[in-house]
Amino acid sequence: MFFILSKILQFVITPQFWLILLLIFAIISKNEKARKKSLIAALCFTLFFSNKFIFEECARIWEIPARSYPSLKKYDAGIVLGGMMTYDEKLDRLQFYRGADRLLQAIELYKRGYIKKIFITGGSGSILHQEQKEGYFVKRYLLTLGIPETDFLIESESKNTHENAEFTKALFEKENVKGNFLLITSAFHMRRSLGCFNKAGLITEPYSTDRYAGPRKFEFDHLFIPDVSAVYDFSNVIHEIVGYITYKIVGYV
């Protein structure tokens, strides 16, 4: 139930949802003054949430900063959180999302010798397709890259960040995995992830990937021209902040 409710909440808190409500109100309202206010609010909403510079500054406050290689030590395993791909049954092919940077960075860390093993945690994030477990597909992908099966471990039952942490801890205890661990996930998702893993009693160090807030840019188009992608990006960060607050309330972090 918590899983389904989180999916519904994910849509309700998006800027797109509230923009649609404002526009619907402007259309159906018989009060001319209220209609104008609603349209002005919708315009302000659009200008604010489509501004790439404003978005990146907001993301900069929330995200856990990225780290350079010299700041790292040697780790027994890199824990990579799922949510980075989907499977096309017809083509029998994986399709990667932006979050695939988590896996790519982990592979590079492995190749450079910073992590000895790669641990993947992630099942199905779909309500309808629970059988499509992400961990299984990542395993297949790593094998095609020539990474020995002895150098990675897969957990493919977790559906959310809380379960990522709990199931990882349980599997590590079962397999007697010990040592220093590097937590690898998206920068905007790192704060909640660290909280969950700490709560589960698995101490890790953060390694943020696919961050939104890179070097500041003061270019005209970045500052003033609306960018529809910023609306989508805002939705991701707002979802993550609300998710963190929700997890805090229920005691997951």
Residues 25 and 92 in one domain: no
Q: Is residue 27 part of a domain?
A: yes
The separation between CA 74 and the C-alpha centre of its own chain, rounded to angstroms, equals 25
- The domain of 244 spans 2-63+225-250
Residues 153 and 95 in one domain: yes
Given a cut of 80, is residue 7 above it in pLDDT?
no
pTM for the model? 0.89
Residue bearing the bigger pLDDT, 210 or 3: 210
Given a cut of 90, is residue 48 above it in pLDDT?
yes
Given a cut of 70, is residue 118 above it in pLDDT?
yes
Range 65-85 average pLDDT = 95
- Tell me what the pLDDT averaged over the chain comes to: 92
Range 176-201 average pLDDT = 97
Residues 154 and 108 in one domain: yes
β-strand partners of 231: none
> Using CB atoms within 10 A of its CB, is residue 74 exposed (0-12), middle (13-18) or buried (19+)?
exposed
Residues 94 and 148 in one domain: yes
Neighbours of 10 (CB within 10 A): 16
- In this predicted model, what pLDDT tens digit does every residue of 207-237 receive, in sequence order? 999 999 989 999 999 999 999 999 999 999 9
Given a cut of 70, is residue 2 above it in pLDDT?
no
- In this predicted model, what pLDDT tens digit does every residue of 149-180 receive, in sequence order? 999 999 999 989 999 999 999 999 999 999 99
Residues 83 and 197 in one domain: yes
Question: What pLDDT was estimated at residue 123?
Answer: 80
Question: What pLDDT was estimated at residue 12?
Answer: 79
pLDDT band, very low/low/confident/very high, at 92 (cuts 50, 70, 90): confident
170 Cβ contact partners less than 8 Å away, ≥ 6 residues apart: none
Residues 108 and 186 in one domain: yes
Residues 57 and 168 in one domain: no
Residues 198 and 237 in one domain: no
